[in-house]
Amino acid sequence: MPIVAFNLYRHGVTDLAAVVPMLAALTLLDKRPGWAGLAAGLALSVKLFPGVLVVACCIPASAWARYGAGVIAGLLPVAFFFAASPTDFINNILWFNAIRPPDSTSIAAALPDLVAIVLKGISLIVLAVIALWTLRRSVELQHRCAFIVIGSVFALLSGPVCHNNYLLWWLPAFCVLLAGPLAGLVSPSLVTQRAWCSAS
| pLDDT value of residue 166 | 87
Per-residue pLDDT at 189 exceeds 60: no
- Prediction pTM value: 0.83
Could you give the percent of the chain with pLDDT greater than 90? Answer: 51
Lowest mean pLDDT among 58-72, 83-97, 149-163, 169-183: 169-183
35: domain range?
2-199
Number of domains in the chain: 1
Average pLDDT in the 175-184 region? Answer: 80
Task: Tell which wins on pLDDT, 7 or 124.
Answer: 124
Per-residue pLDDT at 196 exceeds 50: no
- Structural Rg of the chain based on CA atoms: 19
| pLDDT value of residue 132 | 94
Q: Report pLDDT digits (tens) over 1-43.
A: 677 778 778 877 888 889 999 999 999 999 999 999 999 999 9
